């Protein structure tokens, strides 16, 4: 029996790939045979991430790309098609957050959060989908959030982005199913990443990050924070043949946090 998780011969792009969920996912996709292209704005972290994957005996390259910039997204995708001849997987994972209410947010902060998360998803998808279609199809996974399905406190821009991503995912699934392109969103709960720790600092827990992390896990049926690998495994499922008849769905991976 063929392994339905086998990604050999596939080319996978991971935005926000230099750390956290992006890096964990890049590592896992490479472990299952994909040629992984990590995108990030941080050159040094991106190159370090690629070396981690290569040192594990797998394939990865890094391309610096600001996902809010139309021309950078266009030329990055074009360069990947030239180099590999195909794109099979796109994990739109780049995102940022500013923990403020609409009253406290500046216009620049609002634009920053929406541009990285929502515009970045649109731009990379815009230029990747035609490449996927020429290759016979593929899988796109967009990073939403539990807070894309319900509200959260002091996270107005973030909730707007993630809610937008969840419904953009549905629209893309409808539009591109005929091209054999599946589009799903992954919706994590609190996951132990640098971004979550940054949220704790923004909320005044700089000297009590451990307490913030413990409190973030309270009330979940599985009684712990997520780890980046927890999310990566779900992305692998959505990119693999195990999910060949799944598109337009919002998969929640949160230890039961919004159950």
Active site (catalytic) residues: 158
10: CB partners within 8 A, 6+ apart: 33, 34, 35, 88, 89
pLDDT score, position 237: 98
CA dihedral 37, 253, 55, 121 (to 10 degrees): 20
Q: What is the tens place of the pLDDT at every residue in 96-123?
A: 999 999 999 999 999 999 999 999 999 9
pLDDT score, position 145: 96
What domains appear along the chain, each with residue ranges and CATH number?
11-189+228-251 (3.40.50.720), 191-225 (no CATH)
SS3 59: coil
In this model, does residue 44 exceed pLDDT 90?
A: yes
pTM for the whole thing?
0.95
Q: What is the tens place of the pLDDT at every residue in 249-259?
A: 999 999 999 99
Query: Could you tell me which residue, 17 or 219, shows the higher pLDDT?
Result: 17
């Amino acid at each position: 029996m063929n392994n339905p998780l086998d990604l050999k011969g596939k080319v996978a792009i991971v935005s926000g790939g230099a750390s956290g969920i992006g890096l964990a996912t890049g590592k896992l996709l490479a472990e299952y045979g994909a040629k992984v292209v990590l995108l990030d704005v941080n050159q040094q972290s991106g190159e370090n991430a690629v070396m981690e994957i290569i040192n594990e005996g797998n394939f990865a390259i890094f391309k610096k790309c600001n996902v809010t910039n139309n021309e950078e997204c266009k030329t990055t995708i074009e360069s990947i098609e030239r180099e590999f001849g195909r794109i099979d997987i796109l994990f739109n994972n780049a995102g940022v957050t500013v923990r403020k209410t609409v009253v406290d947010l500046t216009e620049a902060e609002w634009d920053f959060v929406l541009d990285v998360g929502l515009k970045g998803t649109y731009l990379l998808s815009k230029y990747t989908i035609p490449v996927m279609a020429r290759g016979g199809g593929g899988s796109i996974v967009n990073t939403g959030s539990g807070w894309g399905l319900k509200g959260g406190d002091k996270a107005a821009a973030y909730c707007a982005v993630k809610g937008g991503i969840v419904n953009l995912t549905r629209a893309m699934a409808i539009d591109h199913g005929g091209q054999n392109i599946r589009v799903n969103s992954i919706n994590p709960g609190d996951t132990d990443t640098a971004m979550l720790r940054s949220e704790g600092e923004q909320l005044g827990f700089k000297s009590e990050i451990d307490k913030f992390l413990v409190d973030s896990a309270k009330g979940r049926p599985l009684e712990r924070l997520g780890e980046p690998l927890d999310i990566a495994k779900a992305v692998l499922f959505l990119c693999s043949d195990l999910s060949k008849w799944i598109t337009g769905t919002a998969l929640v991976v949160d230890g039961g946090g919004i159950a």
